[in-house]
Amino acid sequence: MGAALPLGEPAPADGLLPASAALGAAGRAFGVYVHVPFCRVRCGYCDFNTYTSDELRGAKQSDYAGEAIGEIRMSRGVLEASGLPARPAQTVFFGGGTPTLLPADDLVAMLGAVRDEFGLAEGAEVTTEANPDSVGPDDLARLAAGGFTRVSFGMQSAVPHVLAALDRTHDPERVPLVVGWARDAGLDVSLDLIYGTPGESLDDWRRSVEYAIAQRPDHLSAYALIVEEGTKLARQIRRGELAQPDDDLEADMYELVDERLATAGYEWYEVSNWASNAGQRSRHNLGYWRGDDWWGVGPGAHSHVGGVRWWNAKHPSAYADRIAAGVSPAVGREVLDRAARETERVLLRARIREGLEISTLHTGGRHAVAALLADGLVDARAALSGVLTLTRRGRLLADAVVRRLLEDSVVE
Amino acid sequence: MSPRAVNPPVPAATDPASIRNFCIIAHIDHGKSTLADRMLQITGIVSDRDMRAQYLDRMDIERERGITIKSQAVRMPWQQGDRAYALNMIDTPGHVDFSYEVSRSLAACEGAILLVDAAQGIEAQTLANLYLALENDLEIIPVLNKIDLPAADPEKYAKELADLIGGSPDDVLKVSGKTGVGVEELLDRVVERIPAPVGDADAPPRAMIFDSVYDSYRGVVTYVRMIDGQLKPRERIQMMSTKATHEILEIGVSAPEPQPSKGLGVGEVGYLITGVKDVRQSKVGDTVTTAVKPATEALAGYTEPLPMVFSGLYPIDGSDYPELREALDKLKLSDASLVYEPETSVALGFGFRCGFLGLLHLEIVTERLQREFGLDLIATAPSVVYEVTTEDRKTVTVTNPSEFPTGAKITEVREPVVKAAILAPKDYVGTIMELCQSRRGTLLGMEYLGEDRVEIRYNMPLGEIVFDFFDQLKSKTAGYASLDYEPTGDQAADLVKVDILLQGEQVDAFSAIVHRDKAYAYGVLMTGRLRELIPRQQFEVPIQAAIGARIIARESIRAMRKDVLAKCYGGDISRKRKLLEKQKEGKKRMKMVGRVEVPQEAFIAALSGDVEKKDAKK
């Protein structure tokens, strides 16, 4: 999640949602995201809302679980008072930051609060992100025992000079270890990879991909490095110390990973995500792309319920103060109008393999499909059965495709 | 004793013997306006309190650039001995583009102050205007200005001036417009040296229009110099070129604010207001007479202004087109030499083909449109007027490359030619000759002015001058060279039209008529610029330069392969949507050439030569 909060209207102190948020809620899945805003060190490329111990200004890592639990308790009241039906959480996702910097018991306690307030649906997916060097076998076993089903490791690369450029501190040799421990604990495993790091060659990338596949994870994510304003990486590039990632090389890298993963039996289901089978897709993340509802817990966390997006106070100490005062931690929100919701629907759905039903597009969008087909950006077989799904080339140009689909759109 | 006149002569009742009409010939930034300001102050017609820097330059642009676009006249009283005089200072435009207006201003005077910066010496434009002044038999008073500057070298430049116009270096007055030193002496010299006007007070009135200014409150204000007879308020007047008649609603002199009078008599300079709304009804050079008993013979020297340089002006935001039309219509009221007609371009949309007196005129008009009317504009590469004859013996006048005949075989193309005079320190002679040679110039002659400055004269196609010649000249001579040119006729030349194609589609704004020897260089230049400026598309885009069907240069923009945000999770969605909305807005500023999306900025940059590498990301 980007560091800067969006511009929106102020959120009310009681956190109550407008009546429109409840419309159609029964048909939407509900999930919970819990943000853990702590890291041991800040990586040079990262602009996520996370803090090292000396940046916390009085907020305490040890108090955090209690504060987050406070928000979880508050959230049920807000949803109820806003007219939302009671829905069990289908998914819970702990992201960061580095969630595993907190004791496993804290994570289990927060999950417990979700279970208490909302209930967990049968077969719920419960994920935590983890750094290969911040978890041991005991932690993973305790998480599994506490109800976690899945762990996503930030492997990023298998090549030491690439990890160094990213400021990642772990030894690539540690990845097989943590994957093994997670397996032993009965957890599903996902690996995160980053490509396009300054200094990373296509061969470096191939090595990382092969190394990741060799671990036989259930799920893989591969992200092109985004150089965010305000990061150390952006400064290093501006000063000419590091090279700006090259779009063409990144395209080669994407093609490489998509091809290798396909050969190894993984299917893409979102632009940057692959799974060993449909059951291993991240249901939590699919919720974001399908426009489902979720409550985001923690500093700077974003939530979405029925076309209302809001976001919490960014700094952990400001967040803690609000929770202590019994005030909603939300500081800003936007109530999407119909046009904005349609824009989001198209831009998110176009990214996933499930795709967009072509008949739901406005006329201009439907007309654009033919040209997109001709350009090889849209899968022909899917299109003929009425669904817009991107080809590999189309995924690399997904933003351009979305612009064409929305061109001249008039949504009344 | 103050030389300020105690009983200044009254307009309409001034003995011509007490009148002196003069102008100041000076190069941009040699201090004409500052000197004029000092004169206003010293003669007492503008109080010290009301004085503002460069009082006479009315338009912001003029004040900022330190140049005078439109002339004006000011009547200043001055006492010498026991006689009170009326000194009419007629401000002349300083630039060659306005040489016709300059010539009319000069024709309104009997004398001229030749004002030269004591640190820089005379410049080419000044020289050109000096020739014009001598042709008009004006008495010249040489003056060195800015003698207070540490870099001033009055001895050197006094000698240069004396060499040029004859006489002794001691006759050259030395003044400082800034401090006022020498200005009283200069006013005295004006009275002593410049002849009084002569005319027939009993003849039918004849007044020459030397300027005509549109005022949004009063309509057109016409500045005239009376030659014969008298004009009075409420008199019906006739413009001799058109025979149109109007009633004088107000007549008077500028002092320097308008001061209505009972009329204007022989030799006087002043203004008329008739209520007309368009300067075209009151043309510079025309003769004003009375409608009742008109003069039979108009004053000599009137010509219609002829546009020399053409360019397409387009609003950057296409929806501003009606505003642009309105703005041009308004500007026309105050600028008799501006001509325009609607034009459309594939690349730039709807705009106007405009004719200008020269490059500076083009620049001034564009700047006024932007500043006074708040329009964002782009101007296509300036073009001159070509006469193209085809095999079937038809001749077409081409002011826009798109009019260049394509079907029939071309037998001859004629292009306008000018005589260019370049003044520069002698060290730059080689560089300048090289530049002129490369622009198809033929050397006419070279002369030393003083010890270290040279005047180089060339015959050159005007088309070569309008294509960034002046910028090149300036940059190759560290800004020292000055340029003046005058049209001398036309010549046949081997000219071709080079088209630029984007994915096979012609981009009309970049078509140019160039000499065959330069076609390849132009093609390489433009295709290279566009390759740098046009963002990558989802497909490869060839950029070609062609003469007819023959491709002479080719570049291509590789297809864009990656345009996707890698991560799009819960907290990214708002940001992503807003980015998309912004891109949609941005797309409105995109022009489509076939399937190729070209940002308006790319066209602008390619036309202006302002090429920076395109941003890899959007």
The domains of chain A are located at 17-290, 337-412
**Domain B496-608 listed as CATH 3.30.70.2570:** yes
CA nearest B33: which of B78, B77, B66? B66
Indicate yes or no: CB of B563 within 8 angstroms of CB of A2: no
pLDDT the model gives residue B19: 97
Of the partner residues B562, B575, B587, the one whose CB lies closest to the CB of residue A2: B575
pLDDT band with cut points at 50, 70 and 90 for residue B55: low
The burial class, CB within 10 Å (0-12 / 13-18 / 19+), for A41 is: exposed
Peptide bond into A97 cis (omega under 30): yes
Could you say which architecture CATH assigns to the domain B386-493? 2-Layer Sandwich (3.30)
Residues of chain B positioned with their CB less than 8 A from the CB of A224: 562, 564, 566
Higher-confidence residue of B612 and B405: namely B405
List, for residues A253-308, the tens digit of each pLDDT value. 999 999 999 999 999 999 999 999 999 999 999 999 999 999 999 999 999 999 99
List, for residues B143-167, the tens digit of each pLDDT value. 999 999 999 999 999 998 998 888 8
CATH number (3.40.630.150, 3.30.300.30, 3.40.50.800, 3.40.50.300) of B16-193 reads 3.40.50.300
Residues of chain B positioned with their CB less than 8 A from the CB of A33: 570
Indicate the residue type of A411: V
Domains B206-290 and B386-493 share a fold: no
Indicate yes or no: CB of B570 within 8 angstroms of CB of A302: yes
Burial A334-358 (b: 16+ CB within 10 A, else e): bbbeeebebbbbbbbbbbbbbbbeb
CA angle B518, B522, B526 (to 5 degrees): 175
**Cβ A257 vs Cβ A203: under 8 Å:** no
B interface residues, A as partner, C-beta within 8 Å? 538-539, 558, 560-578, 580-581, 583-584, 587, 616-617
Compute the distance between CA of residue B458 and CA of residue B287 in angstroms, rounded to an integer.
35
CATH number (3.20.20.150, 3.30.70.870, 3.40.30.10, 3.30.2290.10) of B309-379 reads 3.30.70.870
Chains A and B form CB pairs within 8 A to the count of 108
Indicate yes or no: CB of B538 within 8 angstroms of CB of A377: yes
**Lookup: tokens for B104:** 């009319």
**Lookup: tokens for B347:** 């690349």
Task: For residue A256, give the H/E element and its range.
Answer: helix A247-263
Residues of chain A positioned with their CB less than 8 A from the CB of B574: 6, 8, 302, 309, 334
Indicate the residue type of B116: V
Compute the distance between CA of residue B309 and CA of residue B355 in angstroms, rounded to an integer.
6
Lowest mean pLDDT among A66-75, B380-389, B560-569, B577-586: B577-586
Q: Which of residues 47-76 of A touch B (CB under 8 A)?
A: none
Query: What fold, for A17-290?
Result: TIM Barrel (3.20.20)
Indicate the residue type of B159: K
Residue A99 Cα distances to A37, A163, A217, A263, A379, angstroms: 8, 20, 20, 33, 38
The class that CATH gives domain B206-290 is: mainly beta
**Cβ A131 vs Cβ A166: under 8 Å:** no
What is the distance, to the nearest Å, from the Cα of residue A240 to the centroid of all Cα atoms in its chain? Answer: 31
Q: What is the ipTM of this complex?
A: 0.91
pLDDT band with cut points at 50, 70 and 90 for residue B65: very low
Task: Report the SS3 class of residue B46.
Answer: coil
Q: Is the pLDDT of residue B56 over 70?
A: no
Of the partner residues B562, B570, B617, the one whose CB lies closest to the CB of residue A304: B570
Interface test with B, best of A258, A289, A397, A404 (most B CBs within 10 A): A397
List, for residues B531-553, the tens digit of each pLDDT value. 999 999 988 999 999 999 999 99
Q: Which of residues 276-315 of A touch B (CB under 8 A)?
A: 285, 288-289, 294, 296, 300-304, 309, 311
pLDDT band with cut points at 50, 70 and 90 for residue A220: very high
Question: Percentage of chain A with pLDDT > 90?
Answer: 84
Q: Is the pLDDT of residue B69 over 60?
A: no
List, for residues B105-132, the tens digit of each pLDDT value. 899 999 999 999 999 888 887 887 888 8
Indicate yes or no: CB of B581 within 8 angstroms of CB of A289: no
pLDDT the model gives residue A379: 94
Residues of chain A positioned with their CB less than 8 A from the CB of B587: 403, 407
Of the partner residues A2, A395, A399, the one whose CB lies closest to the CB of residue B571: A2
Question: How is chain B split into domains, by residue range?
Answer: 16-193, 206-290, 309-379, 386-493, 496-608
Say how many residues make up chain A. 412
Q: Is the pLDDT of residue B509 over 50?
A: yes
pLDDT the model gives residue B305: 73
List, for residues A12-34, the tens digit of each pLDDT value. 999 999 999 999 999 999 999 99
Identify the closest residue of chain B to A194 by CA–CA distance: B566
For tokens 């530049």, what's the residue?
B435
Helices (H) and strands (E) in chain B, counts: 14, 31
Compute the distance between CA of residue A271 and CA of residue A277 in angstroms, rounded to an integer.
16
Task: For residue A354, give the H/E element and its range.
Answer: none
pLDDT the model gives residue B213: 83
pLDDT the model gives residue B592: 82
List, for residues B277-298, the tens digit of each pLDDT value. 888 888 889 999 999 999 999 9
- B557 to chain A, closest Cα gap in Å: 13
pLDDT the model gives residue A2: 46
Q: Is the pLDDT of residue B70 over 60?
A: no
pTM: 0.68
Residues of chain A positioned with their CB less than 8 A from the CB of B571: 1-2, 296, 300-302, 311
For tokens 């057109």, what's the residue?
B220
pLDDT the model gives residue B414: 94
Task: For residue B408, give the H/E element and its range.
Answer: none
Task: For residue B235, give the H/E element and its range.
Answer: none
- CA dihedral over B490, B491, B492, B497, signed as positive or negative: negative
Residues of chain B positioned with their CB less than 8 A from the CB of A296: 570-571
Query: What fold, for A337-412?
Result: Arc Repressor Mutant, subunit A (1.10.10)
**Cβ A16 vs Cβ A83: under 8 Å:** no
pLDDT the model gives residue B347: 75
Residues of chain A positioned with their CB less than 8 A from the CB of B567: 223, 226, 272
pLDDT band with cut points at 50, 70 and 90 for residue B609: low
Indicate yes or no: CB of A244 within 8 angstroms of CB of B616: yes
List, for residues A118-154, the tens digit of each pLDDT value. 999 999 999 999 999 889 999 999 999 999 999 999 9
pLDDT band with cut points at 50, 70 and 90 for residue A73: very high
Radius of gyration in angstroms for the set of CA atoms belonging to chain A, rounded to a whole number: 21
CA nearest A127: which of A190, A65, A170? A190
pLDDT band with cut points at 50, 70 and 90 for residue B348: confident
pLDDT band with cut points at 50, 70 and 90 for residue B608: low
pLDDT the model gives residue B386: 95
